[in-house]
């Protein structure tokens, strides 16, 4: 007998490249956190990499500038550049919908 599965939380895997305490980097982290807090239905795995301390991963991934955020999952992989102030663009890139907003 199949047990009805509880509504599964959707998974987001994000990687944000920042440059130390630089203003746009700080702003990008803040904007992202504020947005994710609005969507409790999603489980976000957020990895923040400071390119000043760890330049290699960014170089490997061909990151041109910081802040750059890469959506690793769900696929397809997408990138967004800037301080993430543009919430509309961020929502559409992450594939979120208004109805999911909590």
Partner 1 sequence: MVDGSIEGETVVLRRRLLEAEQALVAFSRGEVDAVASEAGGTPVLLRAAQKQVRESERLLRAVFDGALDAMLLVDDRGNYVDANPAACELFGLPRERLLGRNAAEFAVAQAGAIEPSWESFRLAGRMEGQLRILRADGSPRDLDYRATANVLPGLHLSLLRDVTERRLAEEHLRQAQKMEAIGALAAGVAHDFNNLLSIILSYTTLVLQDLKPGDPMHDDLIEVCRAGKQAADLTRQLLAFGRRQMLEPRVLDLGQVAVGMERMLKRLLREDVELSLFTSRTLGRVLADPSQVEQIIMNLVVNARDAMPCGGKLSIETNNVELDAAYAEHHAGVVPGHYVMLAITDTGCGMDAATRARIFEPFFTTKETGKGTGLGLSTVFGIVKQSHGHVWVYSELQVGTTFKVYLPRTDRLVDPLIDTFAPVTLRGSETILLVEDDEQVRAVTHAILRRQGYNVLDANNGGDAFLICEQYPAKIHLLLTDVVMPRMSGRQLAERILPMRPGLRVLYVSGYTEDAIVHHGVLDAGVAFLQKPITPDGLCRKVRELLDRRERS
Size of the site for partner 1 (CB under 8 A): 24
State the minimum distance, in angstroms, from the CB of residue 91 to partner 1: 17
Residue 20 or 40 with smaller CB distance to partner 1: 20
CA–CA separation, 99 vs 62, rounded Å?
35
91 binds partner 1 (CB under 8 A): no
**Residues forming beta bridges with residue 15, ordered by sequence position:** 47, 70
Contact stretch for partner 1 (CB under 8 A) within 5-13, 37-45, 50-58, 90-98: 50-58
Judged by CB under 8 A, the residue of 12, 32, 36, 58 near partner 1 is: 58
Cα distances from 95 to residues 14, 37, 51, 75, in angstroms, run 13, 15, 27, 10
Nearest to 70 by CA among 43, 32, 20: 32
């Amino acid at each position: 007998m199949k047990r009805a599965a509880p509504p599964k939380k959707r998974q987001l895997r994000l990687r944000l490249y920042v440059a130390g305490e630089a203003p746009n980097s700080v702003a990008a982290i803040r904007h992202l956190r504020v947005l994710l807090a609005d969507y409790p239905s999603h489980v976000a795995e957020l990895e923040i990499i400071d390119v000043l301390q760890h330049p290699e991963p960014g170089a490997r991934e061909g990151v041109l500038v910081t802040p750059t955020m890469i959506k690793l999952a769900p696929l397809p992989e997408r990138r967004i550049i800037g301080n993430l102030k543009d919430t509309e663009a961020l929502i559409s890139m992450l594939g979120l919908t208004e109805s999911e907003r909590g």
